[in-house]
Structure 1
Amino acid sequence: MRVQILIADDDPHIRELLRLNLITEGYLPFEAEDGEQALHILEKEAIHLAIVDVMMPEKNGWELCQEIRSYYDIPVILLTAKGALEDKAKGFSSGTDDYIVKPFEPEELLFRIKALLRRYRMVSAELIRLHQTQIDRRSYEVKINQESISIPLKEFELLAQLASYPGRIFTREELVQLVWGTDYKGDNRTVDVHIKRVRERFKPLTDDFTITTVRGLGYKLEVTEK
């Protein structure tokens, strides 16, 4: 089955540029000129990745990204003319996996598409495989080379959340909501403390992945190329 990619952008020239490049690479593109049209395509087609422009009529890219993240387990690339740090923070808070600022080189976008598809294939709904590291969300168990690793619950949930979307940046606020819940009364520093513990726990055991601090934004888990 060919990989099916959604292009959601109100600029027909951008859609044509992306369509031609995607077809050349063997992908099957679907086009939407606004957010609502994009949702209709997502409901009808088995889309594997979405390229979403931020400034669209009917439903903007941030809103569309949030809806995709709520109902579909696919990678999202936000495509926008906005390059300021606060705009990127808003994009990653909306759930995007990657962020490309216009104007862009089509080759760079294709590289990022391939990287995201490769990362997502390493992750299933319940069992996450990062080379020799396995994270089982059903049993709350981490194994490295088939050896079980003891890990506190919140550290496990934090690791599993980051590992479920390799390469995606999560803000501290987003991680607090996802791991500790919306009614958590503490501050965001608890995320930093738990990230530090996870790093210290796994660094001597494996080089399958690293948790990277993205200054001004948050954290992301990166799978080591092997």
Structure 2
Amino acid sequence: MEKRDHWNSVYATKSEETVSWFQNDAQPSLDLILTHRDAAARGIVDIGAGTSRLVDRLLDNGVEDVTLLDLSDRSFDVVRDRLIGRDVQPTFVVQDVTDWRPARTSGVWHDRAAFHFLTNRASQDAYLSALKLATTPGSIVIMATFAEDGPERCSGLPVQRYSSEALSARVGPSFQPLETRKVGHRTPGGVTQSFQYSVFEAV
């Protein structure tokens, strides 16, 4: 409940476009997902979706089977309001990913900056258990974390920074690395944060 209270407080007190992780274009996540459209057609789950506009951009591009997972119900109030009038709506799941047991598998697992908040091995293992349950051979996994030279904290919380090699080792041999990208994210406050994006295929 402490984690849920923290994130509900963040989304209750800060506007969508002022949080440090805000992106209007949802890049490079959008391009990485659209590169794997066949997998995306089997469904996308966005972990730690918050108020991200990735779902808007996916719907704009005809990708309609989207599940959003976040432990903050307040963040989803923002998304629901923003998507009013859309013919297609995502599925909303209010759940801590470390407690989640997905009812279905997805072709794409996307996570921009959720995993790096898990700083102990037990919570990381619980996340990876959910990941394995939600994917099948051929599923694409896109994970973005702060890079080794990225911030040590975000939203007042400590994070675990990764190189692409360290993340691949932590995810384990069930997921074959396909691509990595180093990305500088410019926050609304004008600060550049160093991210690394890794793409894997479930084997």
TM-score, normalised to structure 1's length? 0.35
Give the number of the structure with larger relative contact order, counting CA–CA contacts within 8 Å between residues 6 or more apart.
2
Larger Rg computed on CA atoms: 1
TM-score, normalised to structure 2's length? 0.38
Larger helix share, 1 or 2: 1
